């Protein structure tokens, strides 16, 4: 497991009150009942806390958490995190 994944779980469970049992690699923002405003807020949180250029277009509702995690992990490497 990479170092980005725990942050995703922390934000989804803490900020958005997503049950931890629902946070699985194949879950999408849609399946977690995250609307477009929540996805946009999530992108801002990731940018502020991880320093990675994440926007709501990157965190598309049909992207899986595994895909989002991979993107954020790669972006974090790009910014030296």
All domains in the chain, ordered by first residue: 4-78 (1.10.1200)
Q: Give CA–CA dist 23/79, Å, rounded.
A: 26
Please say whether the beta carbons of 76 and 52 come within 8 A. Answer: yes
Name the stretches of the chain with pLDDT < 50: 1
Per-residue model confidence (pLDDT) at position 79: 59
pTM: 0.80
Q: Give CA–CA dist 18/3, Å, rounded.
A: 20
Percent of the chain with pLDDT over 70: 81
Per-residue model confidence (pLDDT) at position 26: 94
Per-residue model confidence (pLDDT) at position 1: 46
Q: Give CA–CA dist 26/22, Å, rounded.
A: 10
Per-residue model confidence (pLDDT) at position 22: 95
Per-residue model confidence (pLDDT) at position 72: 85
């Amino acid at each position: 497991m990479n170092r980005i994944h725990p942050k995703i779980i922390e934000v989804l469970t803490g900020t958005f009150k997503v049950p931890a049992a629902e946070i699985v690699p194949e879950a999408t923002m849609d399946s977690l009942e995250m609307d477009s405003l929540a996805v946009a807020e999530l992108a801002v949180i990731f940018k502020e806390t991880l320093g990675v250029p994440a926007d709501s277009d990157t965190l598309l509702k049909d992207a899986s958490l595994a895909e989002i995690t991979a993107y954020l992990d790669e972006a974090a490497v790009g910014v030296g995190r």
